[in-house]
Structures are given as C-alpha cells and as structure tokens.
Amino acid sequence: MTKSNSLSGQRDDQIRRTARVLEIVQQIAVAPGRWSRRSLAEHHEISERMIQKDLELIRYRLGLKLEHDGETYSFERLPHLPTTNYSFSEALALLTAARSAQALPGVNSAELAAAIARLESIFPNELVPVLREATEQLPRKAVKPHRQTMLTLIHRALSERKQVRILYATASQAGEAKTRVIEPYYLMPYGRSWHLIAYDHLRQSVIQFKIDRVHEAELLETIYTIPADFDVEEYMGDAWGLMRGSANETEEVILLFESQAGQWVSEEHWHKSQQSEALPDGRTRLRFYVGVTPEMVNWLLYYGDQVYVEKPEWLRDEVRERHRRAVQRYEDS
C-alpha cells in the first residue's frame, strides 16, 4: 500500500468514527435511558470495546456529562441541539464534501465557506473541534488557509447575527493591529481579495475591512441586527471600486475600447451605471456615471493602448501622463 493510500484510509476511518460518535450523541440525547453499550454496539455493528472508546471520547474529549445508571446512558446536561432536516451523519457527509470541493478549480471559495459555516452551525459548539479535525485535513486547492478560516467565521457570524472580535491591521497606520468588535453587514469579493462591510464599535461607524488583514477573529455570543435601511449600493455610492473616500465627484466617463479588449470588458459588470455600445467597426464604447478613483485609473492603465478616454478630458490627460512617465522610466533605465 502506498503512503497516500494509507493516509486516505486513515482519513476515511477518522471521518467514519466522527460520524458514529455524533450519531451516538444524537441517539442518547433523543432517547435518554434507552441505549446501553450493547445495543449501541449492535446498532453500529462494532464491538462493545469500540463503543466504550467512543463513550469515553464523548465524556472526556467533548466534555459532555454522560451518566450511566448501570445499564443505559443519558446526559446530565446537553448543548441545545437545533432542529434540522439533516441527521448528524448526513450533515457530516455534506461538510466533508464541501471541504473536498475546495480542492476543485472553478468552485467559489466564498460560497463553500458559507456552506461550511452553515453546516458547522448545525452541531453544538463542543463538537466543532472534532468535526474540523476530521475534515480539515482533506486535500485542498492552493488557497490561503487563513483566509478560508476567516471567511467561514464571518459567514457564520452573518448567518447567526453574532458580533465578532477581530485583531485587524490597518493599512493607514503601518500595519498596526488593533482589537475591535464588529457587526458584519455584507461580504463581497473584489479583485483577488475579499472585503467586509461592518459596523465597527471602535470607530462607531460602518466601514470596510479587508479579510486578509484580519489576523484573529472570535465569534461572540452578542446578537446584533442589520439596520433595515442599510443598502450596500447606497453605501458604496457612485465611486468606482472600494476607495469611496478618494472618489471625485460623479461625472460621465466615456471609454473607447479596441475590438478584442472591448469584447472582454463588455462581458463583465464593472459599475451599476455601465452602458455598452457595440460600434460598426468592431470597437466598443462604454459609458459610466461614476466618481473616478485611483483604482479606475489603474484599471485603464492595465488596458494600455487598447483603450482611449474620450471623456472627461482631465482623465485622458492623467492616463496619458502616467503612460509617459512609464515610458520615461524605461528609457532612463
């Protein structure tokens, strides 16, 4: 047997045992005083010795107060088990599948993080460490593990409406990290990163956070509500991208793209005001009513000679000057 096959077999055994332990918890919780070690062994088709090890894991590893009257088992106190359409075994199977899907290209990692957070929320908090131990070692694609962890926690906070304590490094203060309590409102992808709009108790306002700058995060028990009048499009305003504070006044921007670049840009949604016009010569004209930001200028520079700024004049001059300085730098070197 190869090493990879051996590791795969160990993972499968661990997942099966985790599923069995979770089902035993559910069985005893639903019918206290009914299940004995022997009846559990017969139900799960394993030895009483293995059942005893599972019961010890429940008692000592999970910290659940398991009582034994000499024959059957019950819990002195059990964490609240929410009503769900899934059994624990079914939920674990779905959780395992979601973790495995992270190894597949083209699968939206944020949607998986949301699914994983919802599936984990089915289980009592005491069981989550065992779940993660069984599922987080599955093969994954090359993503930032810390980002995945943060996305999962933020999605859970959003679904349960719970505050989050974070240690966050701000870009404006040389990366200094501060602890703050936030209330997540909206999570969104941008470029190759993820951003969170949330109410920040430190600044007492709704601001944006970059997920990759969250060093640590802890889900709190304090419940919050998202204001009924919060609207993400209204919050973002007419600015291009996320740099709301650096946007100019809203104005008409007209861009002329060469044929191939025009096909690319017209297939994407860049701004809520976007209007696209296919010209007879194959080029594409895009119109926006937008507050120009440094992000938009950099976006235009990316397309080089494939785009021409027809309007406004000041933006055309800015792009031309930036290209001129780039050429000068190459000539000087």
Identify whether 253 is part of a domain.
Answer: yes
Q: How confident is the model at residue 89 (pLDDT cuts 50, 70, 90)?
A: low
Pairing of strands 251-257, 214-223: unpaired
Identify whether 99 is part of a domain.
Answer: no
Q: How confident is the model at residue 229 (pLDDT cuts 50, 70, 90)?
A: confident
Q: Is 248 found in the same domain as 219?
A: no
Mean pLDDT of 282-291: 91
Residue after which a domain boundary falls, among 28, 58, 89: 89
Q: Is 111 found in the same domain as 83?
A: no
Q: How confident is the model at residue 40 (pLDDT cuts 50, 70, 90)?
A: very high
In this predicted structure, the answer to whether residue 190 has a pLDDT above a threshold of 60 is yes
C-alpha of 276 from chain center = 32
CB half-sphere exposure, 222, CA atoms < 13 A? 10
H/E stretch holding 32 reads none
How many structural domains is the chain composed of?
A: 3
Q: What is the tens place of the pLDDT at every residue in 112-170?
A: 666 667 667 766 676 667 666 656 655 454 456 788 788 888 888 887 889 999 999 88
Q: How confident is the model at residue 256 (pLDDT cuts 50, 70, 90)?
A: very high
Q: Is 284 found in the same domain as 203?
A: no
For residues 80 and 124, what is the distance between their CA atoms, to the nearest angstrom?
7
Q: What is the tens place of the pLDDT at every residue in 147-163?
A: 878 888 888 888 788 99
Residue after which a domain boundary falls, among 200, 233, 266: 233
Mean pLDDT of 77-81: 61
Identify whether 68 is part of a domain.
Answer: yes
Task: Tell me how far CA of residue 145 lies from CA of 104, 137, 142, 179, 257, in angstroms.
Answer: 15, 11, 9, 21, 38
| Residue 245: predicted pLDDT | 58
Identify whether 97 is part of a domain.
Answer: no
Identify whether 187 is part of a domain.
Answer: yes
For residues 135 and 287, what is the distance between their CA atoms, to the nearest angstrom?
48
In this predicted structure, the answer to whether residue 312 has a pLDDT above a threshold of 90 is yes
Of 66, 81, 3, the residue nearest 35 (C-alpha): 66
In this predicted structure, the answer to whether residue 182 has a pLDDT above a threshold of 50 is yes
Q: Is 228 found in the same domain as 146?
A: yes
Q: Is 224 found in the same domain as 245?
A: no
Q: Is 228 found in the same domain as 110?
A: yes
In 3-state terms, the chain is what percent helix, strand and coil (to 5)? 45, 25, 30
| Residue 314: predicted pLDDT | 93
Mean pLDDT estimate for the chain: 79
Q: Is 149 found in the same domain as 71?
A: no
Report whether 135 contacts 94 (CB < 8 A). Answer: no
Rounded percentage of the chain residues whose pLDDT exceeds 70:
72
Q: How confident is the model at residue 106 (pLDDT cuts 50, 70, 90)?
A: very low
Token pair 């096909």: residue: 263
Q: Is 248 found in the same domain as 306?
A: yes
Report whether 287 contacts 252 (CB < 8 A). Answer: yes
Identify whether 96 is part of a domain.
Answer: no
CB atoms within 10 A of CB 43: 14
Residue after which a domain boundary falls, among 175, 210, 233: 233
Q: Is 122 found in the same domain as 49?
A: no
Q: Is 108 found in the same domain as 54?
A: no
In this predicted structure, the answer to whether residue 107 has a pLDDT above a threshold of 50 is no
Identify whether 98 is part of a domain.
Answer: no
| Residue 291: predicted pLDDT | 86
CATH number at residue 82: 1.10.10.10
Question: In terms of residue numbers, what domain contains 33?
Answer: 3-89
Q: Is 242 found in the same domain as 179?
A: no
CB atoms within 10 A of CB 23: 18
Burial class of residue 116, CB neighbours in 10 A (0-12, 13-18, 19+)? buried
Q: Is 215 found in the same domain as 313?
A: no
Identify whether 211 is part of a domain.
Answer: yes
What are the residues whose beta carbons fall under 8 Å from the beta carbon of 333, sequence distance 6 or more? Answer: none
